[in-house]
Structure formats: structure tokens, C-alpha cells
Amino acid sequence: MSFAGETLAAREIEFLTTPGPDTPVRRRLRLESRPRAWRITILVLAAVFYLVPLLSSIKFSLINSSGSYSFSNYTDIVRSSALRDSLYLSLEIAAITAVLVILLVLPTAILVRLKLPKMTIVMEVITILPIVVPPIVLAAGLNDMQGDAPLWLVKLYFNHPLTCLTPIYTVMAMPLVYRSVDNGLRAIDLHTMVDAARSLGCGWTSTILRVILPNVQTAVLGGMFLTIAMSLGEVVIASQLLYNTFPNEMILVAQQDNTPGIPVAETLVALVFTFLLLFSLTFLSRRRGHTK
């Protein structure tokens, strides 16, 4: 279908560029090929809405302690060992959380679609609960649990942010990942693929990894990206449990430093990092699509 659409568009362009009499068909195609004014207006307004605050933030982030413009704020961020350590910790938590939530959600969504279709509504309700419960409530409950928990549980679970925050972020990411994966499974003929793979002798692990996963890779990568973005931006639970993750360290540095451009520079660094994640997701999706 896409090849036929591209061929039809090429024929229209060839028809318009070929010299000939000005017929009603040519005039109609010429008018349809021109961008409409309202589309250009919306595009310009959207560009202004997003670019003006971004450019203003970039300008403000270059103001150093003496009031002049330089890149010293960004070099200070790179040189800060506390920020680097907190960034590595947050990236480690985000990566483990993304892998863990996919390992939990993908087989569950496949099972519901294949064997338990009546459980779809139940899964929708269960996976929406982490969004209904505010993070501050979870943080307060975990804080009380940490205070009343026995010593062995504190050492096992609360002693390190990796063991404590990873399960919590996994639960918080489930609503995002489940809907992304479920939409990907709805877009393919799951029953036919599974029946064909099973008839050829594939086990369930091989069927999921070699048949289903390549066909829902965009949905899976989208869910992983949302999980990483959520993990890198979560502040409430980490701050209540006194863990120095990257967002909390950014807030601490901004409070301790009197330079006005430091907090804005930190925000822009986080924004650029999130954009690179989104770009890598798009690149991986397109590259795998071309290699099929």
C-alpha cells in the first residue's frame, strides 16, 4: 500500500511538472499540493510556543556568578562528582527497572490476549492503580514501613536505593508499559503468529523472543523509554526516603549554589538527555524495521 501511494504521488508530481494546458484537474491538484494557510499558522505558533521559552532558558543558563555569559555552569555540572555519581545511580535504576517491567508485562499481556481475554478489563483496572495512588502516599507508607521494619528487612531492602527504588518504579511504570505493549499486541495477528510458531516446534520462550517481540518492538521500546524517563524524573519517593538520585542532587546543588543559571543548566542537561533517549528509540525502531 505504501509503495502504491508513493507511486501515485510521483505520478501526480510528474503530471504537474509536465508542460501542458491549464485544465481543471491541474488547477485542483496544484491547489491541493500547496500548504494551507492554517497549517502554516499552527506550525509557526507551535514553534514559537516551544522555542521561545527554550531559547530564553538557554540564555539564562549561560549567566555565571559574575553576571556575564559563559559555559562555566555546564562545566561545573560536568566536574561535579556528586552529580555524576547520582546520574550513574539513576541510570542504573532506570535501566534495571525498564528491563524488569518488560519481563513482567510482556508475557502477562500475551497470556491475557491468548488464554484469558475475559481478564482484559481486570488487568486494565489493576494496572491503573499505581496512577490513582499519589506518589506522596506511597512515600509516606514506605517511610513508616522503614521505621517499623525489622533490622534484616532494612538491610535487605532499604539499605541501598537500587534495591528499594527499583521495585517501586517498576510498579509505577506498569500503567505506561502495559498500555504500550497491549496496543502493540492488538495491532498484530497474535493468535496466528503463535499457532504458526508452535506448529513449527518453537517453545514459548523462543516464540516470545523470536516471533512476537520483533513485531511489537516499537511498543516495547516505547514502554522502556517511558520507564526510563519516569525513573529519571521521579523526586517525591526518593527524597522522602533520603536517596541521592539525580533529580534530588540537582535540587540540592541548586539550593547550595547562588549562581542563578545553575538550576536552569541542570534542567537543560536533563532535557537534552531525555531527547537523546527519544532519538535513540526512533533510530533503533527504524533501523530494525529496515533490516527485516
d(CA 220, CA 147): 37
pLDDT at 26: 55
pLDDT digits (tens, 9 = 90+) for 21-31: 555 655 555 55
Q: What is the pTM of this model?
A: 0.72
Predicted confidence (pLDDT) at residue 13 exceeds the cutoff of 70? no
pLDDT digits (tens, 9 = 90+) for 211-243: 888 888 888 888 888 888 888 888 888 888 888
What cell was used for 228? 526510563
State the average pLDDT for the chain.
79
What cell was used for 244? 541521592
Between residues 170 and 147, the one the model is more confident about: 170
What cell was used for 155? 538491610
pLDDT digits (tens, 9 = 90+) for 68-125: 778 877 887 777 777 778 888 888 898 899 999 999 999 999 988 888 888 888 888 8
Q: Give, for 70, the enclosing helix (H) or strand (E).
A: none
Give the residue from 72, 76, 7 showing the smallest Cα distance to 250.
76
User: What is the 8-class DSSP label of residue 35?
Assistant: P
pLDDT digits (tens, 9 = 90+) for 259-287: 667 777 877 877 787 777 767 766 766 65
d(CA 244, CA 273): 19
Which residue type does 115 have? K
Q: Place 6 in a pLDDT band, splitting at 50, 70 and 90.
A: very low
Mean pLDDT for the stretch of residues 242-250: 83
pLDDT at 103: 92
Task: Report whether 60 contacts 260 (CB < 8 A).
Answer: yes
CATH 1.10.3720.10 domain position(s) in the chain? 74-290
pLDDT at 288: 55
User: What is the 8-class DSSP label of residue 241?
Assistant: T
Lowest mean pLDDT among 11-20, 48-57, 103-112, 148-157: 11-20
Q: Place 35 in a pLDDT band, splitting at 50, 70 and 90.
A: low
Q: Is 174 exposed, middle or buried (0-12, 13-18, 19+ CB in 10 A)?
A: buried
pLDDT at 97: 92
CATH 1.20.1530.20 is right for the domain spanning 74-290: no
Which residue type does 230 have? M
Q: Which residues pair with 63 in a beta bridge?
A: 69
pLDDT at 244: 83
Give the residue from 214, 250, 222, 255 showing the smallest Cα distance to 234.
250
Q: Place 36 in a pLDDT band, splitting at 50, 70 and 90.
A: low
What cell was used for 134? 499519589
d(CA 95, CA 103): 13
Query: Between the CA of residue 227 and those of 102, 154, 277, what are the distances in Å?
Result: 10, 26, 11
